C-alpha cells in the first residue's frame, strides 16, 4: 500500500515553473529515490510532500497510517544549520520536545555516534549530516525525507551516512531520498523516480532503468582492424569507434559473439563493463551538460 | 507552553555563551556608570545645565538604561534573528510541528528579560555605590521602560525584516544605533542641544525614551508628546515588521 501518492503535482513561482507535472507513489518501508540534475524540481517536490509548500495544482495523498505531515514526516533539508553554540545533545533534546511522541534521543545519539557535548560549529560536514538525519528522526516519523544528504562529503563520511540510511530503513521508516549522486541510488534505492525539468521521465528499480538504457553489457577494446561486421550480429545494439578504441553494447551472449567475430592478433586491452545507473540516467535525460 | 519554555531556556543558554553580547548589553552600561561616576567629580555635583541636578541623579543612569535597551533592540536581536534566517535555523524549525514564530517569541522574551535585569542592576549598583536615587515615580518609570522597549524592539524587528543578510543587518544596526543614541542625549545631554536639534530629538524614539526615563527618575510625569512619540514608533515599526518579516 502506498504511504505517499503524488499525482500531477505542479508548482509555479510567478512565471517560473519549478515542478511541471510529477506523479509517483512511495510504498511503505522502501527507500524511494528522486534523482535529477540541479534545478530539476526535486527539492520543491519533496517540500510539497512534507507540507512546507502548497502545490499550485495536483494532489499529495497519504496512506498506510500516515496522517499528519508535520508530525509524522521527518525532513532534512539542504542549507539548514543550527546556532553555532548549540550542543549536539541540546539540539536533539530540544527537537524531541517539539513532537508529541518523540523517539528516545539518547538512543539516536548512539546511532549517529556523536558526542552530545560538542557544539554545532565544531562538527565536521559528515557529523552535521548525521545530526541532521537524527533530527529528522527524533519525532519518531513514519517517513524520513533526506535531501542531498551526501553532497560535499568525503568518501568515508558518505559511506557512513549510507550505512545510517540503511539502519533507518531497518527501523521501519520509509525513506524518500533526494539525490543527484548515481552511486547512491544504485547502492540504496529500491525504486527511483527520474525527474527532469519538473517532469517524471521514469519510475522503476535502478536495475530496471539500467535495462531500459540498453541492457547490462558493454565491451571495450582497441583494434586497428575493421569492425563493421559487428553491427550485423543480432546480439549487438551499437558499435562506437573513437580512433583505436571501440565500444560495443548489446545483450545476450555478447562477449562470446563479439570475440568470435574479431580478427585474432589485432585486438588488445579488451574489457567488459556493466552499464551503470549513471549511463542509464544520462540516456534517459539525454546527455545535456549538467548545469550547476 | 512546555515547548516555549524549553525554547526560551535553550536560547538563554545560547545568549550567555556569547560573551560579546553579554558584555555590551549588560556589563558595559553598568561599568560606565560606576567607573565614570566614581572618577569624574563633575558627575556627582549639581550641574546648572541640568537645572541644578547632579548628572548621576537622572541624566547619566537614564542614558545607561537607554544604551542597554537600544543595543539589545537595534543591534543584538536583529543580528541573531537574521543569522537564524540566513543559516536556515528558522527553516529547519518550520519542518517540525512547532512554528518558527515560537523562536521569535523566545528571542524577544530573553531580550526583554535582559533589558529588565540590566536596568535593575544599573539602578541598584548605582544606588549602592554612587547614591543614585531610586526612581521617584517608580510605576511611571516602569511604564516608560516598557513602552520605550516596545518601540525600540519594534524598530529592531523591522530591521530584521528588511535586512537581506547578517552582514547588512550588522552594518545597518550600527548605522542606526549611533545616531539614535546621539539624538537620545548620550553624548550631548538634551538640555545642551541647540533647540532645532532638540526638536528632532523629541520625535526620535531614543530622545523621547531617554527624556521620559529622566523625568520619571526625577519624580516628574513624562511629557505626553514623548509618550505619543513612543507609541507612534511602536505602532509604525511593529506593523511594518509584522508585514515584512520573512522566515526564509
If asked whether residues A172 and A217 sit together in one domain, one would say: no
What would the pLDDT profile of B121-144 be if each residue is shown by its tens digit?
999 999 999 989 889 889 999 999
Task: Name every chain B residue with its beta carbon within 8 A of the beta carbon of A92.
Answer: none
CA distance B87 to B100: 13
More reliable by pLDDT, A260 or B93: B93
Do A135 and B92 count as a contact with CB atoms less than 8 A apart?
yes
If asked whether residues A237 and A177 sit together in one domain, one would say: no
If asked whether residues A146 and A238 sit together in one domain, one would say: no
Q: How many independent structural domains does chain A possess?
A: 2
If asked whether residues A238 and A94 sit together in one domain, one would say: no
If asked whether residues A8 and A140 sit together in one domain, one would say: yes
Do B97 and A135 count as a contact with CB atoms less than 8 A apart?
no
Q: What is the mean pLDDT of chain B?
A: 92
What would the pLDDT profile of B159-218 be if each residue is shown by its tens digit?
999 998 989 998 999 999 999 999 999 999 998 899 999 999 999 999 999 999 999 998
Do B97 and A75 count as a contact with CB atoms less than 8 A apart?
no
What would the pLDDT profile of A234-262 be if each residue is shown by its tens digit?
888 888 888 888 888 887 788 888 888 88
Do A81 and B96 count as a contact with CB atoms less than 8 A apart?
no
pLDDT of residue B247: 81
Do B91 and A80 count as a contact with CB atoms less than 8 A apart?
yes
- CB atoms inside a 10 Å sphere around CB A260: 9
A67: part of which helix (H) or strand (E)? none
Indicate the residue of A83, A99, A135 with minimum beta-carbon distance to B14: A83
More reliable by pLDDT, A211 or B74: B74
Q: What angle do CA A162, A166, A168 make, to 5 degrees?
A: 115
If asked whether residues A159 and A256 sit together in one domain, one would say: no
The answer to the question of residue A123 being in a domain is yes
Q: Which of A48, A97, A101 should we substitute to test contact with B (largest number of B Cβ atoms within 10 Å)?
A: A97
Chain B touched by A118 (CB under 8 Å): no
> Which chain A residue shows the shortest CA-CA distance from B96?
A70
If asked whether residues A195 and A220 sit together in one domain, one would say: no
What would the pLDDT profile of B45-68 be if each residue is shown by its tens digit?
888 888 788 888 888 999 999 999
Question: Chain A window 119-178: which residues touch B at a Cβ cutoff of 8 Å?
Answer: 135-136, 139
Residue A245 sits in a domain of what CATH number? 3.30.70.100
pLDDT of residue A287: 52
pLDDT of residue B221: 93
pLDDT above 90 for B72: yes
Residue A132 sits in a domain of what CATH number? 3.40.50.300
The answer to the question of residue A7 being in a domain is yes
Task: Print the SS3 string covering chain B.
Answer: CHHHHHHHHHHHHHHHCCHHHHHHHHHHHHHHHHHHHHHCHHHHCCCHHHCCCCCCCCHHHHHHHHHHHHHHHHHHHHHHHHHHHHCCHHHHHCCCCCCCHHHHHHHHHHHHHHHHHHHHHHHHHHHHHHCCCCCCCHHHHHHHHHHHHHHHHHHHHHHHHHCCCHHHHHHHHHHHHHHHHHHCCCCCCHHHCCHHHHHHHHHCHHHHHHHHHHHHHCCCCCCHHHHHHHHHHHHHHHHHHHHHCCCC
Chain B touched by A71 (CB under 8 Å): yes
If asked whether residues A22 and A79 sit together in one domain, one would say: yes
If asked whether residues A275 and A140 sit together in one domain, one would say: no
Task: Name every chain B residue with its beta carbon within 8 A of the beta carbon of A136.
Answer: 95
Q: Which residues of chain A have pLDDT under 70?
A: 214-216, 287-292
Q: End of a domain among A188, A204, A220?
A: A204
The answer to the question of residue A292 being in a domain is no
Which residue do the cell numbers 544604551 mark? B67
pLDDT above 70 for B99: yes
The answer to the question of residue A290 being in a domain is no
If asked whether residues A124 and A267 sit together in one domain, one would say: no
Q: End of a domain among A175, A204, A233?
A: A204
Domain that holds residue A87: 2-204
If asked whether residues A167 and A272 sit together in one domain, one would say: no
Q: End of a domain among A181, A204, A227?
A: A204
DSSP A87: B
> Which chain B residue shows the shortest CA-CA distance from A68?
B97
Which among A115, A101, A109 is positioned nearest to A65, based on CA atoms? A101
If asked whether residues A153 and A245 sit together in one domain, one would say: no
Amino acid at each position: 500500500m502506498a504511504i505517499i501518492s503524488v499525482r500531477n503535482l505542479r508548482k509555479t513561482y510567478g512565471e517560473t515553473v519549478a515542478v511541471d507535472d510529477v506523479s509517483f507513489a512511495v510504498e511503505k518501508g522502501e527507500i524511494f529515490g528522486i534523482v535529477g540534475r540541479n534545478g530539476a524540481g526535486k527539492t520543491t517536490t519533496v517540500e510539497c510532500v512534507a507540507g512546507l509548500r502548497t502545490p499550485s495544482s495536483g494532489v499529495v495523498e497519504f496512506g498506510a497510517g500516515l496522517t499528519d505531515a508535520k508530525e509524522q514526516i521527518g525532513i532534512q533539508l539542504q542549507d539548514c544549520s543550527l546556532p553555532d553554540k548549540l550542543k549536539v545533545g541540546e539540539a536533539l533534546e530540544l527537537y524531541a520536545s517539539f513532537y508529541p511522541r518523540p523517539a528516545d534521543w539518547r538512543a539516536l545519539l548512539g546511532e549517529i555516534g556523536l558526542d552530545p557535548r560538542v557544539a554545532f560549529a565544531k562538527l565536521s560536514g559528515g557529523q552535521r549530516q548525521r545530526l541532521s538525519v537524527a533530527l529528522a528522526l527524533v519525532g519518531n516519523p513514519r517517513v524520513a525525507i533526506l535531501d542531498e544528504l551526501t553532497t560535499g562529503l568525503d568518501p568515508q563520511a558518505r559511506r557512513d551516512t549510507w550505512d545510517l540510511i540503511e539502519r533507518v530503513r531497518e527501523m521501519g521508516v520509509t525513506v524518500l531520498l533526494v539525490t543527484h549522486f548515481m552511486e547512491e541510488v544504485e547502492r540504496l534505492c529500491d525504486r527511483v523516480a527520474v525527474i527532469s525539468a519538473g517532469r517524471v521521465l521514469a519510475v522503476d528499480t535502478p536495475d530496471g532503468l539500467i535495462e531500459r538504457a540498453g541492457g547490462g553489457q558493454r565491451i571495450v577494446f582497441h583494434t586497428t582492424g575493421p569492425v563493421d561486421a559487428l553491427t550485423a550480429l543480432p546480439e549487438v545494439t551499437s558499435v562506437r569507434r573513437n580512433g583505436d578504441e571501440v565500444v560495443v553494447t548489446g545483450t545476450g551472449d555478447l562477449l562470446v559473439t563479439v570475440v568470435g567475430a574479431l580478427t585474432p592478433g589485432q585486438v588488445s586491452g579488451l574489457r567488459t563493463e556493466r552499464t551503470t545507473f549513471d549511463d542509464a540516467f544520462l540516456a534517459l535525460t539525454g546527455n545535456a551538460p549538467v548545469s550547476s | 507552553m512546555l515547548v516555549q519554555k524549553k525554547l526560551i531556556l535553550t536560547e538563554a543558554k545560547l545568549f550567555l555563551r556569547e560573551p560579546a553580547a553579554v558584555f555590551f548589553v549588560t556589563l558595559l552600561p553598568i561599568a560606565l556608570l560606576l567607573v565614570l561616576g566614581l572618577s569624574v567629580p563633575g558627575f556627582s555635583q549639581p550641574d546648572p545645565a541640568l537645572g541644578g541636578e547632579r548628572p548621576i541623579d537622572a541624566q547619566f543612569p537614564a542614558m545607561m538604561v537607554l544604551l542597554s535597551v537600544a543595543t539589545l533592540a537595534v543591534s543584538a536581536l536583529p543580528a541573531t534573528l537574521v543569522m537564524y534566517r540566513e543559516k536556515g535555523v528558522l527553516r529547519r524549525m518550520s519542518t517540525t510541528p512547532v512554528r518558527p514564530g515560537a523562536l521569535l517569541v523566545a528571542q524577544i522574551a530573553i531580550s526583554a528579560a535582559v533589558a529588565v535585569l540590566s536596568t535593575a542592576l544599573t539602578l541598584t549598583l548605582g544606588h549602592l555605590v554612587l547614591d543614585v536615587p531610586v526612581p521617584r515615580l517608580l510605576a511611571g518609570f516602569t511604564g516608560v521602560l516598557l513602552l520605550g522597549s516596545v518601540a525600540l524592539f519594534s524598530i529592531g524587528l523591522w530591521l530584521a525584516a528588511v535586512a537581506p543578510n547578517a552582514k547588512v543587518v550588522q552594518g545597518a544596526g550600527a548605522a542606526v544605533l549611533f545616531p539614535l543614541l546621539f539624538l537620545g542625549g548620550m553624548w550631548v545631554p538634551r538640555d545642551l542641544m541647540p533647540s532645532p536639534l532638540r526638536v528632532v530629538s523629541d520625535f526620535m524614539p531614543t530622545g523621547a525614551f531617554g527624556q521620559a526615563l529622566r523625568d520619571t527618575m526625577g519624580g516628574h510625569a513624562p511629557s505626553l508628546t514623548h509618550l505619543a512619540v513612543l507609541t507612534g514608533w511602536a505602532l509604525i515599526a511593529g506593523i511594518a515588521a509584522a508585514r515584512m518579516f520573512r522566515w526564509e
